[in-house]
Structure 1
């Protein structure tokens, strides 16, 4: 359990930094560049995703198996695209279905509720598929067989 707690703490720290980057970028696109709600959200998330990948690969899950940068990067972005879909869905429902289109409403829907739901999905996905656990040896193999004895060999038929 301590390893899970460490991973969650590191994931939260990396996520916090990426979240600040996303908030700043998204609001910049909305307020300064007058981007549409979903476009600004998507661009902010894209920028934050690069930050999150680097932090998670080289810090949060650095102790896990290395399965290749290209593979990890591709899966990371696929799962982030799904997480982005979760964020955009919450924002879209808020703006286009419920009619809550102010800056505060956009931030609550996309950057609080959407990020929260998307983060739960992302953590589980990264841990399971992007940065899988190292294959572990069985205790008997590590000790050279039962009780430290040499491993049993199967005799060949004569």
Structure 2
């Protein structure tokens, strides 16, 4: 495969991944705000639950569309890797939300409101999306190694 073809393939994967991710992100933001603003949950707890709800959409969208051409190593192993990767990504997202809220509170020297909390949440999503794509591509939905003759 030429370098140009490889980049086109990765760009196509990236576009499909971002589409699935955009839908999952909308789900995550809606659930986050429902839990945080409507039900008064702690932002970190709301982040964790919202991430887990969006995770269901992300698995099926990525398995059946983004990485459908990849070999399946067995549904159980794939799901275990998917859950482990997303547990780590959910923890990273929650850590980023917590750290961002703490930093914003210290910088502004006041209680921060929903606008800043949502800004912090969106920034955490951007970081986690990049990490998640790399892990899905290289670990969860990876291609089989070439067979030797």
TM-score, length-scaled by structure 1: 0.81
| 5+ residue gaps, structure 1 | 142-158
C-alpha spacing 1:68/1:101, structure 2 compared with 1 (3 Å): farther
- Pick the structure with more helix per residue: 2
Paired positions, count: 138
Partner of 2:104: 98
TM-score (structure 2 length as normaliser)? 0.86
Residues 20, 61 of structure 2: 8 Å contact kept: yes
2:69 matched residue in structure 1: 63
1:120-154 deviation per Cα after TM superposition (whole angstroms, max 9, x unaligned) = 1111111111011133356xx5xxxxxxxxxxxxx
Structure scoring higher RCO (CA < 8 A, sep ≥ 6) equals: 2
Of structures 1 and 2, the larger Rg is shown by: 1
Matches within 5 A, 1:67-82: 67-82=73-88
Residues 87-126 of structure 1 mapped to structure 2, 5 A cutoff? 87-99=93-105, 101-110=112-121, 112-126=122-136
Structure 2 stretches of 5 or more lacking a match? 1-6, 106-110
